[in-house]
């Protein structure tokens, strides 16, 4: 453990400063997970109703009949007797655990895991409930009372379109129909349909809330009644994602679950939380919900059934889960870390490694995460992982066979296919591309074979890669490296930095010209209007590279170059515009790049005037990103300023983020509780309010979290670093305590 304390003085002082904030306890919380079930055919997956019997088995009424999921075998079975191999409409469990099924030709009751027809009813049954020991069955052709083996038919006391029934607790029953709400008792029937009483006359769902109020769901939302009077409502302005309410159920914990055509939303009276997309449901069209004895919610949808389970865990447990996923499927030779490809959407057993233009940057973020983990825990595995990641970054330079050029990424020579393969532009094709983007570089050979013939490495490396690399070099050097490691880092950083300086502050590719994005020179940033969007951020980048190199090597020449850019080439003024809010230029890619280059400047600059300049630039950046629910940015800002971190927002994100890292498509454009806007960026539709992470796609922090449609259909899985980096950063700086170990 002694090695872990041998950090540089600035980081020690910074840790002492930030440790003044009250650290958050890693208390256990409930984490939701989902298991989606297919019942077989398209018709069988059209599920209308679910119920749980006394043994915990799940019953489903579907367009193909009644199905049962055995709790012991965890497999669905169709009840295919001739009488019920056709549409079923409702299943209902009574207080003894017996399941009753309303189907196309009458009523059935469960006997074990089989169904037995109730004689005396030959018409469709679409709604069921229990009143004073009697089963009440409803359909468009009548009402029947069933007690023991006696069936008593009665005339419908309401419209024929019965959609929901609920005992009123006084011997009567509430009946929801397409034309209003009926309250029926042996003495009288009351019919309400006017707007003074209901949001609309279409009533499809009924349930009592914990406070005894009646929730009446249908077209328009939820009307709330108490003591026979309308006392409130819930619509899309309150948190409902759709005006169409298809079911309402009260969970054992008191929360109300509301099924809609765009997912199932839950509320405790304060917060509304939506489950939608294939991460949670086989289809967003939710028809019914039932709860078993363990608190699992079984959700009936138009595409099958989903089990929403809850498990108690800590943030440390969650970190262990994400790291296991990362190490199992996301670290590929020679140690690069990136998403993996899924040959079958969502099926992680079909994963294959894949390359990305930003492999170097993403590996650097993983490297910094492992540096923080090692510094916080002393785990030798974290140190080994960090060393391997740094080795991969170093290999991206040495594999090129140059004095300092860094490859974007590298793959085995036999690997096919790769992303963005070599291609030859015809003159006509290039003219088309050149007009579209005059800065685009005509590169025929993106991939080159290494001298030993074992690897293909990719050129045209971007400024993003170099920014990420230096972020990794800095924290590896300060938090993990021993003396042998430090010597290797110094030699490597010097090679890369010298190559950039000797190239005239551009990243020269093999052809001798700068790569498309690798430009930090005063001539381009200050003199070429095509580089105006990058003037501020690229100025901060190159200053950060020089400051980090000076810190690592101690060579004064890098400080001189740093001062030359500041004092002779106007980079002081450029720094003030590091974060741009110009709608045409603003991107979250730049937000992430500033996050990785600010630390070297704020940590190691000692000139008070320059520290103030960088602090102002940091403040401007944070003002633009602090609403993004990004714990990494929150912790970064706090660590560089000594201000208390935004713990409530950070903990919300860390706890609410889904365990499932598959990048399912999550479409928030159909939600009526959100508006579509062109902000904070102008190019794509974004949501007016930022939903919590469980309601958005899995992303990285160079993505825009406000985008209304996220994900790639489940064809890739995230490496989890977007979560692990802020968690271990929070642990290292003392913002989050380690969990208390039980004795």
* CA 414, 416, 418, 422 torsion-angle sign: positive
* Percent residues over pLDDT 90 in the chain: 90
Under the banding of pLDDT at 50, 70 and 90, the label for residue 394 is very high
Q: In whole angstroms, what is the distance from residue 249 CA to residue 242 CA?
A: 16
* Percent residues over pLDDT 70 in the chain: 96
3-27+319-424+442-732: CATH topology is Glycosyltransferase (1.50.10)
pLDDT score for 19: 43
Report the relative pairing of strands 162-167 and 150-154 from DSSP bridges. unpaired
Q: Judge whether residue 339 has pLDDT over 80.
A: yes
Q: Is the pTM of this model over 0.85?
A: yes
Q: In whole angstroms, what is the distance from residue 479 CA to residue 370 CA?
A: 10
Q: Judge whether residue 82 has pLDDT over 90.
A: no
Q: Judge whether residue 48 has pLDDT over 70.
A: yes
pLDDT in tens, 234-261: 999 999 999 999 999 999 999 999 999 9
Lowest mean pLDDT among 70-79, 80-89, 189-198, 445-454: 80-89
Residue whose token pair is 């977007």: 722
pLDDT score for 80: 62
CA 207 vs CA 301, 312, 591: distances in Å: 19, 28, 46
pLDDT score for 101: 97
Burial of 363 from C-beta contacts in 10 A (0-12 / 13-18 / 19+): buried
pLDDT score for 439: 87
Under the banding of pLDDT at 50, 70 and 90, the label for residue 442 is confident
Tokens for 226?
Answer: 């108490």
Q: In whole angstroms, what is the distance from residue 112 CA to residue 495 CA?
A: 75
pLDDT score for 12: 41
Q: In whole angstroms, what is the distance from residue 76 CA to residue 35 CA?
A: 14
Q: Judge whether residue 16 has pLDDT over 70.
A: no
Burial of 484 from C-beta contacts in 10 A (0-12 / 13-18 / 19+): exposed
Under the banding of pLDDT at 50, 70 and 90, the label for residue 22 is confident
Long-range contacts, stretch 315-321, CB < 8 angstroms, 24+ apart: 315/26, 315/654, 315/655, 315/727, 315/736, 315/739, 316/26, 316/738, 316/739, 317/739, 318/31, 318/654, 318/655, 318/657, 318/659, 318/723, 318/727, 319/723, 319/724, 319/727, 319/728, 321/659
pLDDT in tens, 554-584: 999 999 999 999 999 999 999 999 999 999 9
Q: Judge whether residue 125 has pLDDT over 80.
A: yes
* CA 193, 199, 204, 207 torsion-angle sign: negative
Q: Judge whether residue 20 has pLDDT over 80.
A: no
pLDDT in tens, 133-188: 999 999 999 999 999 889 999 999 999 999 999 999 999 999 999 999 999 998 99
pLDDT score for 228: 83
> What's the whole-number mean pLDDT along residues 435-450?
90
Q: Judge whether residue 732 has pLDDT over 90.
A: yes
pLDDT score for 2: 32
What are residue 723's DSSP bridge partners? none
Average pLDDT, the chain: 94
Taking the CB of residue 686, how many other CB atoms lie within 10 A of it? 22
pLDDT score for 6: 34
> What's the whole-number mean pLDDT along residues 352-375?
97
CB of 367 closer than 8 Å to CB of 361 = no
> What's the whole-number mean pLDDT along residues 326-335?
98
What are residue 33's DSSP bridge partners? 309
* Per-domain boundaries in the chain: 3-27+319-424+442-732, 29-313
> What's the whole-number mean pLDDT along residues 221-231?
94
Report the relative pairing of strands 351-353 and 340-342 from DSSP bridges. antiparallel
CB of 499 closer than 8 Å to CB of 404 = yes
Lowest mean pLDDT among 74-83, 320-329, 587-596: 74-83
CATH of domain 29-313: 2.130.10.10
CB of 339 closer than 8 Å to CB of 717 = yes
Burial of 59 from C-beta contacts in 10 A (0-12 / 13-18 / 19+): buried
pLDDT score for 382: 98
Q: Judge whether residue 84 has pLDDT over 90.
A: no
Helices 588-604 and 535-553: crossing angle in degrees, nearest 10, is 40
> What's the whole-number mean pLDDT along residues 299-312?
98
Taking the CB of residue 467, how many other CB atoms lie within 10 A of it? 25
């Amino acid at each position: 453990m002694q090695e872990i304390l041998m950090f540089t003085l600035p980081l020690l002082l910074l840790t002492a400063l930030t440790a003044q904030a009250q650290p958050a306890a890693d208390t256990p919380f409930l984490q939701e997970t989902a298991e989606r079930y297919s019942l077989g055919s398209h018709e069988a997956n059209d599920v209308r109703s679910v119920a749980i019997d006394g043994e915990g088995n799940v019953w489903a009424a579907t367009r193909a009949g009644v199905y049962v999921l055995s709790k012991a075998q965890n497999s669905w079975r169709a009840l295919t007797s001739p009488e019920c191999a056709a549409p079923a409409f409702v299943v209902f469990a009574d207080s003894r655990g017996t399941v009753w099924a309303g189907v196309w030709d009458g009523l059935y009751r469960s006997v074990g895991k089989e169904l037995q027809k109730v004689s005396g009813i030959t018409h469709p049954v679409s709604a069921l409930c229990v009143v004073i020991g009697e089963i009440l069955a409803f359909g468009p052709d009548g009402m029947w009372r069933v007690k023991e083996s006696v069936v008593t038919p009665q005339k419908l006391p309401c419209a024929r379109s019965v959609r929901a029934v609920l005992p009123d607790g006084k011997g009567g029953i509430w009946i929801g129909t397409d034309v209003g709400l009926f309250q029926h008792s042996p003495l009288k029937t009351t019919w309400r349909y006017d707007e003074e009483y209901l949001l609309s006359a279409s009533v499809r769902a009924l349930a009592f809330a914990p406070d005894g109020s009646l929730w009446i769901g249908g077209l328009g939302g939820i009307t709330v009644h108490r003591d026979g009077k309308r006392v409130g409502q819930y619509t899309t302005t309150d948190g409902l994602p759709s005006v169409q309410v298809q079911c309402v159920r009260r969970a054992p914990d008191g929360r109300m679950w509301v099924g809609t055509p765009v997912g199932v939303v839950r509320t405790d009276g304060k917060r509304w939380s939506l489950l939608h997309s294939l991460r949670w449901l086989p289809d967003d069209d939710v028809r019914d919900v039932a709860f078993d004895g363990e608190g699992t919610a079984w959700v009936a949808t138009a595409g099958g059934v989903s089990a929403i389970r809850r498990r108690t865990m800590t943030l440390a447990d969650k970190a262990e889960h994400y790291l296991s996923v990362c190490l199992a499927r996301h670290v590929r030779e020679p140690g690069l870390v990136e998403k993996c490809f899924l040959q079958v959407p969502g099926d992680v057993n079909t994963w294959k490694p894949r390359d990305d233009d930003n492999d170097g940057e993403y590996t650097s973020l993983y490297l910094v995460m492992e540096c923080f983990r090692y510094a916080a825990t002393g785990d030798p595995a974290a140190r080994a992982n960090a060393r391997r990641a740094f080795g991969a970054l170093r290999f991206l330079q040495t594999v090129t066979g140059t004095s300092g050029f860094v490859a974007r990424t590298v793959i085995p020579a036999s690997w096919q296919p790769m992303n963005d393969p070599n291609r030859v532009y015809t003159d006509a094709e290039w003219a088309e591309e050149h007009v579209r983007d005059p800065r685009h570089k005509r590169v025929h050979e993106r991939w080159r074979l290494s001298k030993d013939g074992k690897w293909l490495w990719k050129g045209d490396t971007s400024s993003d890669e170099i920014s990420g690399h230096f972020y990794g070099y800095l924290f590896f050097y300060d938090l993990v490296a021993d003396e042998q490691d430090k010597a290797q880092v110094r030699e490597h950083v010097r090679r890369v930095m010298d190559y950039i300086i000797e190239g005239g502050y551009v990243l020269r590719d093999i052809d001798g010209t700068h790569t498309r994005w690798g430009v930090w020179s005063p001539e381009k940033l200050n003199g070429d209007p095509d580089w105006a969007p990058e003037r501020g951020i690229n100025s901060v980048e190159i200053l950060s590279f020089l400051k980090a190199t000076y810190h690592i090597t101690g060579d004064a020449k890098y400080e001189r170059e740093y001062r030359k850019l500041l004092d002779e080439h106007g980079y002081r003024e450029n720094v003030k515009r590091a974060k741009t809010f110009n709608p045409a230029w603003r991107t979250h890619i730049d937000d992430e790049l500033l996050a990785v280059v600010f630390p070297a400047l704020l940590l190691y600059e000692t000139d008070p005037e320059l520290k103030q300049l960088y602090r102002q630039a940091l403040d401007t950046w944070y003002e633009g990103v602090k609403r993004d629910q990004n714990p990494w940015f929150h912790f970064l800002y706090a660590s560089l300023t000594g201000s208390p971190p935004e713990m409530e927002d950070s903990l919300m994100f860390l706890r609410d983020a889904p365990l499932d890292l598959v990048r399912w498509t999550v479409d928030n454009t159909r939600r009526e509780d959100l508006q579509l806007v062109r902000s904070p960026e102008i190019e794509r539709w974004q949501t007016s309010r930022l939903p919590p992470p469980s309601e958005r796609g899995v992303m990285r922090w160079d993505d825009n979290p406000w985008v209304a449609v996220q994900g790639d259909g489940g064809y890739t899985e995230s490496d989890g670093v977007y979560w692990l980096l802020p968690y271990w950063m929070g642990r290292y700086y003392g913002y989050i305590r380690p969990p208390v170990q039980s004795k």
